[in-house]
């Protein structure tokens, strides 16, 4: 070991060089970690002098010279060519420069110790990785089950025996028990995420990839369509990897070392790579004259106008996947029908025998999630991971439960606060508890109402709203709908009783975006009963209000008001489609918002031509 002295930078020089460097890091995970440590260093400067914080007189391995200024990060292509570790010495050595323990300033000791272990594991020199072995985490009661699974893989030729001396490292085996469609499954997992810096997953380059969604499948369904589905069994285990990568997919169990020759469960690159395979299968099917196919990893959905056409596509796909060597899961194969569950979502093309196309959550899942909502809402303190898992399930349900997404805002706020304070358990805020109870009711009553193609009658009478800023002379809100209108000054609104969603409660609720959204609420409150069971085309010149109304989602300030809008749409069974209109074209509503009644009269005769121009442009 030797002491390495590096010229000290000023605080300004340090920030300039390192913030410039962080923007050049292409790996998002490494960039985020880099920013986190820079933040910790800056926190230290609030308590200690810059000279104490920025002291490079530290002990490093002799073969690890520091780069003065630390202004570069090893290029990804160079790292790939040399097969070196992902984290460069320059990246890690920068943080060894912090002489004072970060744990002393409030950084969790576990994080600091893990960082020190990472430095030791990764080292400070760009060199090939040494041999490693990670211990398995298989409970004693499941040892025999794991042994049987490994023997099956070996008998099938998917795993082959080798010796430890011929491989760079041995990764851990584990067994997990996921709940799939309400049933407990057991799955052998090859943990390729350890050790940090040396693992296969740490050194994988993952390309951004967009997977198919159930919404994409729903878009293919038309009234009276027929649907069928096929799912592959143990799909990853039928896809081979290049022989030069066998040495990195090594496990050890009962002193037997095995190399995997197939995609293991546990490699993070597998979903994207496997998706390429199944997408090619769907394209092969499309090239043979069957366009209505959607695939998400190993799950295929076929959609056709007739039962006969759907059956032909079903037979063709079944023949194709078997020809390619895949096995199908019999319990997940369903022949043509008009009511089917795909990716946990129920798709119907003939609901109630009326040709109504609908999408809803499977009833068993709804009951499970609703019960979990009630359970968490009744707790005094809750695990942050438990809330995180529940919010994830609710976000899935929100795709088809009308308005549910809005009530998740309090959940995301809770998680953000808990993470900032590094809490494992935290008290359940009253707002979150109320929202969870409300969500439990919504899951029971609104399931499937978000996505129903039952051809609601569309109201095309000109329906436009506008708000003038508080600073405008005679500023207020105005709206027009099929000859009806309203015009209210903000000075009058300020005299109303203050409610949790009222404007002008504070600076945020006085912003023009909030005022524009409040006008939409007021218009629905006045005229919603005239639009029962319909779809409204609402014109607005404020893009923020337009997006929030249609998506029923926004920042915390807007949520109480959006909830009132949601309740009005539920009360009157209506849906809103917002359209953009220029401020100039929105003459009627603009004049009403400024109490210019003379201008309203002059503009009224031009409404039909304005609507025509908007329709042509929209």
> Mean pLDDT in runs of 10 for the chain (618 residues)?
43 65 60 62 57 41 34 38 36 38 43 52 43 84 89 88 83 78 74 81 77 84 92 86 83 89 84 84 85 91 93 92 87 92 88 82 83 89 87 85 82 84 78 89 70 54 69 73 84 88 88 90 89 81 85 85 87 82 71 64 48 45
CA distance linking residue 448 with residue 398, whole number of Å = 10
Output DSSP code: residue 87: S
Say if CB 593 and CB 466 are below 8 A apart. Answer: yes
In the chain, which segments carry CATH 3.30.420.10? 458-617
Q: What's the confidence (pLDDT) of residue 599? A: 52
CA distance linking residue 4 with residue 93, whole number of Å = 11
Burial class of residue 267 (count of CB atoms within 10 Å of its CB; 0-12, 13-18, 19+): buried
Handedness of CA 487, 489, 495, 501 (dihedral sign): positive
CA distance linking residue 460 with residue 541, whole number of Å = 17
Q: What's the confidence (pLDDT) of residue 71? A: 32
Residue 243: strand pairing partners: none
Of 164, 327, 354, nearest to 235 by C-alpha is 327
Q: Is 4 helix (H, G, I), strand (E, B) or coil?
A: strand
Q: What's the confidence (pLDDT) of residue 549? A: 84
Q: What's the confidence (pLDDT) of residue 616? A: 47
Q: Is 179 helix (H, G, I), strand (E, B) or coil?
A: strand
Angle between helices 363-377 and 430-445 (to 10 degrees): 160
Of 614, 569, 558, 567, nearest to 588 by C-alpha is 614
The CA–CA distances, whole Å, from 230 to 272, 328, 342, 348, 513 equal 20, 7, 10, 17, 47
Q: Which fold has domain 458-617?
A: Nucleotidyltransferase; domain 5 (3.30.420)
Q: Is 258 helix (H, G, I), strand (E, B) or coil?
A: strand
pTM: 0.61
Q: What's the confidence (pLDDT) of residue 333? A: 92
Q: What's the confidence (pLDDT) of residue 307? A: 93
Alpha-carbon torsion angle 573, 578, 581, 586, nearest 10: 20
Output DSSP code: residue 249: S
Q: What's the confidence (pLDDT) of residue 174? A: 86
Alpha-carbon torsion angle 437, 439, 445, 446, nearest 10: 170
Output DSSP code: residue 10: P
Q: Could you tell me how far CA 220 lies from the centroid of its own chain? A: 23
Q: Is 467 helix (H, G, I), strand (E, B) or coil?
A: strand
């Amino acid at each position: 070991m030797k002491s390495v002295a590096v010229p000290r930078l000023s605080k300004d020089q340090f920030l300039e060089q390192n913030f410039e460097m962080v923007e050049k890091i292409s790996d998002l995970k490494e960039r985020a970690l880099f920013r986190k440590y820079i933040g910790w260093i800056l926190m230290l400067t609030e308590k200690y002098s810059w000279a104490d914080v920025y002291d490079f007189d530290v002990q490093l391995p002799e073969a690890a010279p520091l780069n003065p200024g630390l202004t570069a990060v090893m290029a990804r292509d160079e790292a790939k060519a040399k097969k070196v570790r992902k984290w460069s010495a320059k990246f890690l050595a920068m943080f060894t420069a912090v002489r004072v323990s970060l744990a002393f300033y409030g950084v969790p000791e576990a994080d600091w110790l893990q960082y020190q272990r990472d430095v030791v594991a990764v080292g400070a020199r760009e060199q090939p990785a040494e041999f490693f072995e990670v211990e398995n985490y298989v409970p004693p009661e499941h040892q025999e089950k794991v042994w049987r699974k490994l023997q099956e893989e070996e008998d099938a030729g998917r795993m082959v025996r080798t010796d430890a001396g011929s491989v760079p490292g041995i990764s851990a085996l584990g067994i997990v028990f996921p709940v799939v469609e309400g049933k407990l499954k057991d799955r052998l997992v090859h943990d390729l995420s350890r050790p940090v810096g040396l693992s296969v997953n740490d050194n994988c380059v993952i390309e951004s990839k967009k997977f198919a969604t159930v919404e994409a499948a729903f878009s293919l369904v038309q009234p009276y369509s027929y649907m069928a589905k096929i799912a592959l069994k143990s799909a990853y285990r039928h896809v081979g990897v290049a022989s030069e990568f066998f040495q990195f997919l090594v496990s050890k169990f009962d002193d037997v070392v095995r190399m995997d020759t197939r995609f293991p469960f546990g490699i993070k690159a597998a979903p994207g790579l496997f998706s390429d395979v199944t997408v090619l299968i769907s394209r092969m099917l499309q090239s043979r004259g069957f366009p209505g196919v959607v695939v998400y990893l190993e799950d295929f959905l076929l959609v056709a106008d007739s039962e006969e056409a759907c059956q032909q596509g079903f037979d063709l796909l079944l023949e194709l996947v078997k020809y390619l060597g895949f096995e199908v899961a019999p319990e997940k194969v369903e022949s043509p029908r008009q009511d089917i569950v795909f990716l946990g979502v129920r798709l119907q093309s003939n609901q109630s025998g009326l040709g109504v196309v609908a999408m809803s959550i499977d009833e068993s899942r709804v009951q499970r999630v609703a019960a979990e909502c009630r359970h968490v809402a009744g707790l005094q303190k809750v695990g942050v991971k438990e809330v995180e898992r529940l919010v994830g399930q609710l976000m899935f349900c929100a795709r088809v439960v009308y308005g549910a997404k809005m009530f998740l805002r309090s959940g995301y706020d809770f998680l953000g606060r808990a993470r900032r304070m590094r809490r494992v358990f935290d008290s359940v805020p009253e707002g979150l508890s109320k929202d969870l109870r409300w969500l439990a009711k919504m899951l029971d009553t609104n399931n499937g109402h978000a996505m129903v193609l039952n051809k609601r009658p569309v109201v095309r009478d000109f329906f436009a709203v506008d708000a003038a800023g508080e600073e405008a002379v005679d500023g207020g809100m105005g709206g027009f709908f099929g000859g009806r209108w309203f015009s209210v000054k903000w000075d009058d609104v300020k005299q109303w009783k203050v409610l949790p969603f009222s404007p002008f409660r504070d600076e945020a609720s006085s912003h023009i975006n909030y005022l524009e959204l409040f006008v939409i609420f007021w218009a629905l409150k006045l005229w919603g009963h005239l639009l029962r069971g319909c779809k409204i085309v609402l014109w607005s010149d404020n893009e923020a209000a337009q997006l929030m109304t249609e998506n029923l989602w926004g920042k915390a300030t807007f949520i109480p008001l959006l909830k009132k809008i949601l309740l009005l749409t539920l009360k009157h069974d209506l849906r809103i489609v917002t359209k953009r209109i220029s401020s100039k074209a929105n003459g009627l509503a603009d004049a009403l918002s400024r109490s210019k009644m003379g201008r309203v009269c002059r503009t009224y005769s031009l409404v039909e031509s304005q609507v025509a121009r908007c329709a042509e442009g929209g």
